[in-house]
Structure 1
Amino acid sequence: MLPTILRRSALTRSLSTSHALLKRKDNDPYPDLGVRHAPQMELDEPYPNLPPIPRPDETIENKRARLVYQSRKRGILETDLLLSTFAKEHLDKFSADELQEYDALLDEPDWDIFYWATNNKPVPAEWKESKVLDMIREHAKNEKKVVLRMPDLGKE
């Protein structure tokens, strides 16, 4: 059993972190992920935006296979499930332009994609006219109430 002072100290830290997450000026209900970083980490934004890797000679078949894989291996289970089931259903029918648009969308942070797709955050101006994001938003509704599971990565 921890001494009372240690338990209170941990509780105080936990409450102050929770308070910082909840006390937002813009009334945004989603946590500010920037407060999770150590104070010595000086970041301009919570998600550093690295440029995508250029792939000038990538064939359309390789691009499609890479996007299927990247749709599933995002790092956040909710986005993995949403995008992997979307990719399985749609990517084989996408044109080169649609694949390029989807590739650019996958460069966005996982939680942003998930919140835009589920209408929990407004879509930024650069994605408002996106046909692909509209398709993902429609897919996220799951109007047929299908139980979703991660598709296999191998060819069927």
Structure 2
Amino acid sequence: MLRGIARYTSQNARRLQLTTTTAATSTSTMRLMSTQRKSQDPYPNLDIRHAPQMELETPYPNLPPIPRPNEPLEKKRARLIYQSRKRGILETDLLLSTFAQKYLKEFNMEQLEKYDKLLDEPDWDIFYWATDKKKVPDHLLNNDVLDMVRQHAKNENKVVLRMPDLENGQ
């Protein structure tokens, strides 16, 4: 980063001279650092990663899910609503938050568990499975909640979707 500092020169006190100094690191060092970061990225080219022919055998690096034994039903429902809204990818946020608003109130514990396992998957994969851009993996083929998400994603009534409002000041 470069910044300009105005200084009086000793030769002419009235004339200002703009001198440039480096703040912390030089531009070449910053360029080198960003190159190193890119080389560590497992998927540096997003066009390749999001291509329809990209195989599901190369999933995004994903953190293991946090075990939550004996989580009460209402607490689980509230957590899943939050996780549906705050995914990080706008398309998935919109899809899952409207789905959660419509269906999560009626889900039993078994359906909530299936939805929780679905939310442990990477965002782009959920979006592509819901929109039929990629084949659903074997471990989710019999997931009726994913089938509901896929049906919801079709938006057969052609309703303009928007992020649902938070209820009760949550």
What RMSD over aligned residues (CA atoms) do the two structures have, in Å? 2.5
Match of 1:83 in 2: 96
User: Which structure features the higher share of strand residues?
Assistant: 2
Give 1:54-69 correspondences, 5 Å limit: 54-69=67-82
Paired residues in the alignment total 123
The offset of 1:30, in angstroms, is 4.7
The one-letter amino acid of 1:144's match is N
- The whole-number CA distance in structure 1 between the counterparts of 2:61 and 2:48 is 23
Match of 2:162 in 1: 149
Larger-gyration structure (1/2): 2
Q: Judge conservation of contact 1:69–1:153 (CA < 8 Å) in 2.
A: no
The offset of 1:29, in angstroms, is 2.4
RCO higher in 1 or 2 (8 Å CA, sep ≥ 6)? 1
Match of 2:133 in 1: 120
Q: Secondary structure at 1:55's aligned position in 2?
A: coil
Deviations 1:31-85 (A, max 9, x none): 97xxxxxxxxxxxx66223221111131100000000010010000000000000
Give 1:18-33 correspondences, 5 Å limit: 29-30=51-52
Long gaps (5+) in structure 1: 1-19, 33-44
- The whole-number CA distance in structure 1 between the counterparts of 2:48 and 2:163 is 36
The offset of 1:125, in angstroms, is 0.6
Match of 1:97 in 2: 110
Give 1:30-49 correspondences, 5 Å limit: 30=52, 47-49=60-62
Q: Secondary structure at 1:87's aligned position in 2?
A: helix
Match of 1:107 in 2: 120
Between the aligned residues of both structures, percent identity stands at: 66
**Cα pair distance change 1:56/1:22, threshold 3 Å:** closer
- The whole-number CA distance in structure 2 between the counterparts of 1:127 and 1:22 is 25
Q: Judge conservation of contact 1:88–1:151 (CA < 8 Å) in 2.
A: yes
- The whole-number CA distance in structure 1 between the counterparts of 2:167 and 2:48 is 46
Long gaps (5+) in structure 2: 1-44
The runs of at least 4 aligned residues of structure 1 exceeding 6 Å deviation read none
**Cα pair distance change 1:147/1:91, threshold 3 Å:** same
The one-letter amino acid of 1:29's match is A
User: Which structure features the higher share of helix residues?
Assistant: 1
